Amino acid sequence: MNNYSLTKQEPLVIYGGGQIGISITQRLISAGYNVTAILDQNPSGVKNSPVIAMTAEDYFKKKGKSFVFIALANGLEHLNVAMRLKIIRYEKIFFLPLILQSKAALAMINSWNDFFAENYTVLIPYYNLLWNVSSDDFVIYEYCSEFVIVNIYKDHIFSGGLEFNKHPFSSYYIKKNTDNISIIENMPLNNNLIEEWINKYRPFSSKLLNFFENTLYCSNNFYFTFASLAIYNNKGYFNIIDGHHRTLFMLDKGFKYLPLRIKKYEWELYFKESKAQALMDYYNNRGMKSLPFEVIHPAFSRFPVNKNKPDDEFINLYKELLLNDLGL
């Protein structure tokens, strides 16, 4: 069973004693649900609560497992709190997993919003399902199971083939000898041609530039619908075949991950599902609050980074994720 729903009989606690937590506590009680406590790191600071306020640790010692709804105003804090509750051994944890991009995480976000809008019968995915890594979950659109539109990291995209590195469109390159490049640094390194290209070679007419500006946040998702066509090269990166202007416009706007239309099997080679899962499991099982450095992979694109020294196991897992799976 992948999902569950809240019943009126089971004990329910709200995490967060602020305005949001108090409000939803009152609404749930009015709807006939068994709210037994509000959990907060500072219980004495919780005002006007219709139920007792306790720390998550004290509640678990006295009452045991209960359904937990996280009601914090800062959505980015939800996951850190959920991971701490999991360590305490709570199991049914309902929150906003904003940095995770699995299908279960998306379902959890949608259900949380519905629940907050008083649809209390929604289906809720189990916590461990949120951490499942699947290349299919990151596909924006699929064409007849052969081509897909996906987001690729900017430094893994070439404009033109490897033999055309001096072409004005070629903003990035791969150094032939990368043995001495730290894996913590972006690979390949930016060769600074992009700034020169933008200043000197920008081929955008005012009409084209205005069009791109007007479609940046349009309702039909122009940049996804007409994603640039690209092909995987023998270095494990992507050469743009068509759509240079669209790609470079988004790059100029500061996007780190850019939409490309590529072959599905090439996406799977690039994504490295099992190796991404191994690194995700490491992060989850150790209750990490942030990455020690930016992990260049779609599954980790939203994760917070707090630069510090990673341990050897993390380094080895990241090295595995970087390996070229082309068999070349």
**Starting at the edge strand that comes first in sequence, how are the strands of the sheet with 53-54 ordered?**
53-54, 35-39, 12-15, 67-70, 93-94
Q: Which CATH class is domain 3-131?
A: alpha beta
- Per-residue pLDDT tens for 87-112? 999 999 999 999 999 999 999 999 99
pLDDT score of 199 more than 80: no
CA dihedral sign of residues 156, 162, 168, 174: positive
C-alpha distances in angstroms, 48 versus 38, 43, 44, 52, 71? Answer: 11, 12, 11, 10, 16
**Residues near 84 by beta carbon (within 8 Å), at least 6 away in sequence:** 56, 287
**Residues 266-298 pLDDT 10s:** 999 999 999 999 999 999 999 999 999 999 999
What are the extents of the domains in the chain? 3-131, 133-328
Residue 68, pLDDT above cutoff 80: yes
For the question of whether the overall pTM of this predicted structure is more than 0.85, the answer is no
Residue 217, burial from CB neighbour count under 10 angstroms (0-12, 13-18, 19+): exposed
pLDDT higher at 326 or 47: 47
- What CA–CA distances, in Å, run from 38 to 49, 50, 143, 144, 265? 8, 9, 48, 49, 48
> Within the chain, what is the greatest distance between any pair of CA atoms?
70
Peptide bond connecting 97 to the previous residue in cis, omega within 30 degrees of 0:
no
Q: Please give the helix or strand (H or E) that residue 14 lies within, else none.
A: strand 12-15
Instruction: Specify the long-range contacts of residues 62-65, CB closer than 8 Å, at least 24 apart.
Output: 63/11, 63/36, 63/37, 65/89, 65/90, 65/91, 65/92
